Amino acid sequence: MTLARVRREYRGGFPALLESRAPAAPLPLLRRWLRDALHHGFLEPNAMTLATVDTRGRPRARMVLLKQADARGLTFYSNLESAKARELDGQPHAALVLWWPELHRQVRVARVSAVESDAYFATRPRGAQLGAWASPQSRVVRSRAALERNLAAARARFEGKDVPRPPHWGGFRLVPRAIEFWQGRPDRMHDRLRYARAAGGWRRTRLGP
Ligand SMILES: Cc1cc2nc3c(=O)[nH]c(=O)nc-3n(C[C@H](O)[C@H](O)[C@H](O)COP(=O)(O)O)c2cc1C
């Protein structure tokens, strides 16, 4: 293993992230960067790491898919009885990180509270809908075969019918308190612009890389 020697210079002509080109609020910039990532056809351009803490302050992180980013916040969907859901119930604070390596870009979000259910479930492929019924997310399962039996049971239960949203499945909307945009630059002189909520709007500051 030569991990210590793995190193990348952030060259490649990506535009600098300058105050003169950055909007006064973070959402238009986040949406611009999401559009860029989608446009490049990356695998899972909306994947993000979600970090939560339990009531004793111990953190846990995992990937989820960002499904909506608008003025109300950032939304993802999950099992409402999963470890992440239990942690968000008990401690409604979280952090998110999106990373697009090919664009040398990272976005970090700190957020406060909010849980919601959503009609989004109806738009999921049937297999994913049935999977939501079949999986006791984050709980110990006896075997892969037990999971497959759950799936077969869900398939039989909803044969010829629309699959309704399970009561234990829904959306979480994260309301950003701060959003930081990171653009990789040569010689580790990266650009970091941080937006933090301030009275009636956002305060933008530049951070050292
Ligand atoms: C790229 C990627 C995207 C994922 N998206 C989601 C998602 O949108 N919702 C979800 O519940 N789990 C998603 N998962 C699975 C989670 O990372 C995690 O394994 C699962 O939600 C259980 O997490 P928990 O036990 O901490 O609650 C994704 C995993 C990967 C690798």
Give the per-residue SS3 of the chain: CCHHHCCCCCCCCCCCCCHHHCCCCHHHHHHHHHHHHHHCCCCCCCEEEEEEECCCCCEEEEEEECCEEECCEEEEEEECCCHHHHHHHHCCEEEEEEEEHHHCEEEEEEEECCEECCHHHHHCCHHHHHHHHHCCCCCCCCCHHHHHHHHHHHHHHCCCCCCCCCCCEEEEEEEEEEEEEEECCHHHCCEEEEEEEECCEEEEEECCC
Q: What's the gap in Å between 68 CA and the centre of ligand 1?
A: 16
Min mean pLDDT across 50-64, 95-109, 112-126, 131-145 is at 112-126
Mean predicted lDDT score pLDDT of the chain: 91
Residue among 92, 88, 107, 83 at smallest CA distance from 35: 107
Catalytic residue status for 126: no
Side-chain-side CA neighbours of 71 within 13 Å: the count stands at: 1
Atom of ligand 1 at shortest range from CA of 138: 25
Q: Which atom of ligand 1 is nearest to the CA of 85?
A: 27
Spacing, Cα 62 to ligand 1 middle (Å): 6
Q: Rounded CA gap, 177 and 183, in Å?
A: 20
Mean pLDDT within 102-107:
89
Residue pLDDT, tens place only, 33-89: 999 999 998 999 999 999 999 999 999 999 999 999 998 889 999 998 999 999 998
Q: How confident is the model at residue 117 (pLDDT cuts 50, 70, 90)?
A: low
Q: What is the pTM of this model?
A: 0.91
Q: Which of 56, 142, 144, 188 is catalytic?
A: 188
What's the distance, Cα to Cα, between the start and end of the chain in Å? Answer: 28
> For a pocket test of ligand 1, which of 78, 115, 135 has the largest count of ligand atoms closer than 8 A to its C-beta?
78
Question: What pLDDT, in 10s, does the model give residues 6-39?
Answer: 888 887 767 899 999 999 999 999 999 999 999 9
* Ligand 1 centre distance from Cα of residue 63 (Å): 5
Residue to substitute in 52, 63, 81 for testing ligand 1 pocket (most ligand atoms within 8 angstroms of CB): 63
